[in-house]
Amino acid sequence: MKIYIRIVSMVAITVSVLASCTSAGGEALTAPDAPQAAPAPVSAKTTPKPDKVVIVIEENHSFKQIYHNPDAPYMNELMKKGANLVNHYAVEHPSQPNYYDLFSGSNQGIKDDKRPKKKSGAPNLASELIKRGYTFGGYSESLPKTGFDGSYDSAFKYARKHNPWVNFTNVPSAANMPFDSFPQDFARLPTVSIVVPNLDHDIHDGTVKQADDWLKKNLSPYVEWAEKHNGLFLLTWDEDDYGSKNKIPTIFVGPMVKQGTYAQKSNHFSVLRTIEDLYGLPALGESRKAKALDIWKA
């Protein structure tokens, strides 16, 4: 009998405790120290922010002239390592307007390779980076000295038409540097750098093999560094040889890049928009209409 009473008492106590954990509205209340369920993981791609970006611009060759070309083993190695854009296009012909397009989202009225009669004050990649506290550097192989404002000279294979930043009033002359100034300590690079080989090494006058050898010798150390230091490397061309509807190779390599082949149609404005988005810059000119490349890891 005593056992029965004790059991009934325990049941009553339990009911009383449960009742105290119920609100007046009949909703169960959670004790303050009860474990909370972890929120469901969110899976979404985000835009990365590389510490450094280095862009190299080659000359006058189509995608089919480089892809699987035995004279371009390093370029093809990069295609396998990174995001290989197989449906990518230059915007126009000849060279100089394409450099303007990539740099500022517009050819700024320049439609030939002649030295512009007047420099432009239009916003561009360099001016927008600098305005927001980032840095920019243009490195042209065979440029005689920092700030040089001269034109093409066959003696040293530098071509002004391949150097768009020299034509803008809002880009400091100190940002116009010879490739000899490219630092060996890559942590000292500007936020975004553009490298333009000379006419022998960008495949304008020289061979594909010469360009590939030069690229591997001079930029592979940065590519290797970038993989370990949140850096991004981009290899592209200004235009094709007029024989492939302006379809050109373009490759992104870096630890934030999802390796693979990308068939979405893109062009110089797409590349500019992609770089702008990395640093929260305003979209310039035609890049406002372009879609940034979706090549990043989740």
Question: What is the model's pLDDT at position 1?
Answer: 42
* Spans of all domains in the chain: 52-288
Question: What is the model's pLDDT at position 35?
Answer: 38
d(CA 128, CA 88): 25
Question: What is the model's pLDDT at position 45?
Answer: 58
pTM reported for the whole predicted model: 0.85
Three-state secondary structure call for residue 140: strand
| Regions of the chain where pLDDT drops below 70 | 1-45
d(CA 215, CA 220): 7
In tens, the pLDDT along 83-103 reads 999 999 999 999 999 999 999
Looking at domain 52-288, its CATH class is alpha beta
The number of helices, as runs of H, and strands, as runs of E, in the chain is: 7, 10
Question: What is the model's pLDDT at position 18?
Answer: 35
In tens, the pLDDT along 131-157 reads 999 999 999 999 999 999 998 777 789
Q: In terms of DSSP bridges, do strands 250-253 and 266-267 run parallel, antiparallel, or are they unpaired?
A: unpaired
d(CA 231, CA 187): 10
Nearest CA to 198 out of 172, 160, 250, 164 is that of 160
Question: What is the model's pLDDT at position 243?
Answer: 95
